[in-house]
Amino acid sequence: MTKKAITDKQKQTARYAKALGHPVRVAILQMLSKQACCYHGDMSEILPVAKSTLSQHLNELKDAGLIQGEVTPPMVKYCINKDNWAKARQCLNDLFG
């Protein structure tokens, strides 16, 4: 049996899965998917986590490419990254397909 290399698609699927691996991040994505955008301060009033913890979760989602942020001092506005969201859905559909 020949060893197979890990594909880029497998790596990307794992990256998306890691980003989805915490209930707060799932809640953030659900919140953002229902609206055009959301300000960081608004989320901290809704979600049961400290602002610093929320920032860490937002960074994880942003690093995975699932959300994008726009800095409008003194606030940051977050939205779903629709292109990467579609890619993530396809990767997970293929995995569970």
d(CA 75, CA 89): 29
Does residue 60 form part of some domain?
Answer: yes
Which domain CATH number covers 63?
A: 1.10.10.10
pLDDT at 1 > cutoff 80: no
pLDDT tens digits, 4-23: 899 999 999 999 999 999 99
Does residue 21 form part of some domain?
Answer: yes
pLDDT of residue 78: 93
| Number of structural domains found in the chain | 1
Backbone angles phi, psi at 63, to 5 degrees: -60, -35
Does residue 50 form part of some domain?
Answer: yes
pLDDT tens digits, 44-54: 888 999 989 99
Does residue 4 form part of some domain?
Answer: no
Residue 79, domain extent = 14-96
Integer-rounded Cα Rg, in Å, for the chain is 15
**Cα distances (Å, whole numbers) of residue 28 to 32, 83, 89:** 6, 17, 16
What value does the mean pLDDT take over residues 51-75? Answer: 91
Does residue 3 form part of some domain?
Answer: no
